[in-house]
């Protein structure tokens, strides 16, 4: 088979299975609304949970950072790309989340891959929740360690895998809030099982940090645990991008020696670090925004129950509505778009086959009237289905 035939076949397969993906050129996105093709939509597909991507103080901080440091870092942190803006942000994150050290990464994907590839060797063992994020699972599959996936949010299933005798180190991996199902991991139970087996626990809290716990300290704080490895990302509640790993000093020193993403990638622009430092300050005092977000979640769930919509059991800002068929899910997304709502269809391989869904995400600045109108529109779609 030549390259042209291979590419054509693979692309045709995507189209035939209603799995074709394409980027949409968004002209403007102010968190709660967006403009596409000259039309404005109420946006229910953003992870900007607190609406901080357009916060005036954070924008000003980035502009200040640009004036002070320029647009880029110039190299990796091991050459000349680590300066006081990075150091101050790392210390701020460590103090806020109660860890001795934080290390900055250019993205959450890079952080998860870096942690797993640097730590895990041939005789080691990774046990990950079956629904963990692609960045965790891909890193585990590409590492020389053995990967096993335990039943979603089932500590007893984890215990079963950990009871098997094996040599080497063991790492347990999970998300704090699962990005596609919106439910929360039983973190205290998972940590207890991991510690009993002398395993380390890695928690990716991308969707919990900033919105859960006192001062937005996240899922681990809420569950009163401190995993050996905590990854927090800045592309959700922070309204920016990037990530950090929280750990102890010895572990941080190890990653500075062995984490290839830190050694060989250009570091985060220092101006971005200045903006992130301001985002942390805003998050810590964002009690009203978190209350607004919780109000919106509660209202959404109340209406979903009233209309008997097929939602998963999620108490987070992520509210998945299961449709099943890829084609039907695309039709529902398009139906909502015609009514002025932007809700993206999520299909395999991002989610398991047969579980295509709308991933509805709520934000602190959504208006109750917009949520009510969205739910009425969804109800109209499913009622039409029933009539047919």
pLDDT band of residue 388 (cuts 50, 70, 90) is low
**Position 299 in a domain:** yes
- CATH code at position 122: 3.40.640.10
Same domain, 292 and 185: no
Same domain, 120 and 221: yes
Of 243, 129, 232, 230, give the one whose Cα is nearest residue 186: 129
Domain residues for 213?
Answer: 56-284
List the 318-324 sheet strands across, edge first.
318-324, 356-361, 345-346
Please give the share of the chain, as a percent, with pLDDT higher than 90: 89
Same domain, 292 and 277: no
Q: Is the pLDDT of residue 386 over 80?
A: no
- Residue 118 has a pLDDT of 96
Of 181, 219, 180, 217, give the one whose Cα is nearest residue 201: 219
- Residue 21 has a pLDDT of 86
Same domain, 26 and 123: no
**Position 234 in a domain:** yes
Catalytic residue among 29, 43, 45, 179: 179
- Residue 167 has a pLDDT of 85
Question: What's the total number of domains in the chain?
Answer: 2
Same domain, 158 and 210: yes
Concerning whether 60 is annotated as a catalytic residue, the answer is no
Same domain, 234 and 131: yes
Concatenated DSSP letters of 168-186: S-EEEEEESB-TTT--B--
pLDDT tens digits for range 54-95: 999 999 999 999 999 999 999 999 999 999 999 999 999 999
**Position 189 in a domain:** yes
Same domain, 44 and 61: no
- Residue 238 has a pLDDT of 98
Same domain, 238 and 366: no
Mean predicted confidence (pLDDT) in 136-140? 94
Which of 284, 307, 336 is a domain's end point? Answer: 284
Same domain, 114 and 38: no
Residues 77, 265: Cα–Cα separation, whole Å:
8
- CATH code at position 291: 3.90.1150.10
pLDDT band of residue 258 (cuts 50, 70, 90) is very high
Residues 87, 51: Cα–Cα separation, whole Å:
26
CB atoms within 10 A of CB 83: 16
Same domain, 241 and 312: no
pLDDT tens digits for range 314-340: 999 999 999 988 999 999 999 999 999
Catalytic residue among 133, 223, 261, 366: 133
Catalytic residue among 101, 207, 223, 261: 207
**Position 8 in a domain:** no
Catalytic residue among 236, 267, 314, 355: 236
Which of 244, 264, 284 is a domain's end point? Answer: 284
Catalytic residue among 45, 46, 47, 316: 47
Concerning whether 265 is annotated as a catalytic residue, the answer is no
Concerning whether 47 is annotated as a catalytic residue, the answer is yes
Same domain, 44 and 74: no
Q: Is the pLDDT of residue 4 over 80?
A: yes
Which of 220, 252, 284 is a domain's end point? Answer: 284
Q: Is the pLDDT of residue 152 over 70?
A: yes
- Residue 10 has a pLDDT of 95
The torsion angle over the Cα atoms of residues 265, 270, 275 and 278, rounded to 10 degrees, is 110
Concerning whether 236 is annotated as a catalytic residue, the answer is yes
Concerning whether 121 is annotated as a catalytic residue, the answer is no
pLDDT tens digits for range 168-215: 999 999 999 999 999 999 999 999 999 999 999 999 999 999 999 999
Percent of residues in the chain assigned helix, strand, coil, to nearest 5: 45, 20, 35
Looking at the chain, the number of H-run helices and the number of E-run strands are 14, 14
Concerning whether 175 is annotated as a catalytic residue, the answer is yes
**Position 346 in a domain:** yes
- Residue 287 has a pLDDT of 97
pLDDT tens digits for range 5-62: 999 999 999 999 888 888 888 888 887 999 998 899 999 999 999 999 999 999 999 9
Copy the structure tokens of residue 118: 């640097």
**Position 38 in a domain:** yes
**Position 16 in a domain:** no
Catalytic residue among 90, 183, 204, 228: 204
Mean predicted confidence (pLDDT) in 280-293? 98
Higher pLDDT, 385 or 173: 173
**Position 15 in a domain:** no
Same domain, 102 and 221: yes
Please give the share of the chain, as a percent, with pLDDT higher than 70: 99
Catalytic residue among 175, 181, 183, 205: 175
Q: Tokens 């000259």 sit at which residue?
A: 38
């Amino acid at each position: 088979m030549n390259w042209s035939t291979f590419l054509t076949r693979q692309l045709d397969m995507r189209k035939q299975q209603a799995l074709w993906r394409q980027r949409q050129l968004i002209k403007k996105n102010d968190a709660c609304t967006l403009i596409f093709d000259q039309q404005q939509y109420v946006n229910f597909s953003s992870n900007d949970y607190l609406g901080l991507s357009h916060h005036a103080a954070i924008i000003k901080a980035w502009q200040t950072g640009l004036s002070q440091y320029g647009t880029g870092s110039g190299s990796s942190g091991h050459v000349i790309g680590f300066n006081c803006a990075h150091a101050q942000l790392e210390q701020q994150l460590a103090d806020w989340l109660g860890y001795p050290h934080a290390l900055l990464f250019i993205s959450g994907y890079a952080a998860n891959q870096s942690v797993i590839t640097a730590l895990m060797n041939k005789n080691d063992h990774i046990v990950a929740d079956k629904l963990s994020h692609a960045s965790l699972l891909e890193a585990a599959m590409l590492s020389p360690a053995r990967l096993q996936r335990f039943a979603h949010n089932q500590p007893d299933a984890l215990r079963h895998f950990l009871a098997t005798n094996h040599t080497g180190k063991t790492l347990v991996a999970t998300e704090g809030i699962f990005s596609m199902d919106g439910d929360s991991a039983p973190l205290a139970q998972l940590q207890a099982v991991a510690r009993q087996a002398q395993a380390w626990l890695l928690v990716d809290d991308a969707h919990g940090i900033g919105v859960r716990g006192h001062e937005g300290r996240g899922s681990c704080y809420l569950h009163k645990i401190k995993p050996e490895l905590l990854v927090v990302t800045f592309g959700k509640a922070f309204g920016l991008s990037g990530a950090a790993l929280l750990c102890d000093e010895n572990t941080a020193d190890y990653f500075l020696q062995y984490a290839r993403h830190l050694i060989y990638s250009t570091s985060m622009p220092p101006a971005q670090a200045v903006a992130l430092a301001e985002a942390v300050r805003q998050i810590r005092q964002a009690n009203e925004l978190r209350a607004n977000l919780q109000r919106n979640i509660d209202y959404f769930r109340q209406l979903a129950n009233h209309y008997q919509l097929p939602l998963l059991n999620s108490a987070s800002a992520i509210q998945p509505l299961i449709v099943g068929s890829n084609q039907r899910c695309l039709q529902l997304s398009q139906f909502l778009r015609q009514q002025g709502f932007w809700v993206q269809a999520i299909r395999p391989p991002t989610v398991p086959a047969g579980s295509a869904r709308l991933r509805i995400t709520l934000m602190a600045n959504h208006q109750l009237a917009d949520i009510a109108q969205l739910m009425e529109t969804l109800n109209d779609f499913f009622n039409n289905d029933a009539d047919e």
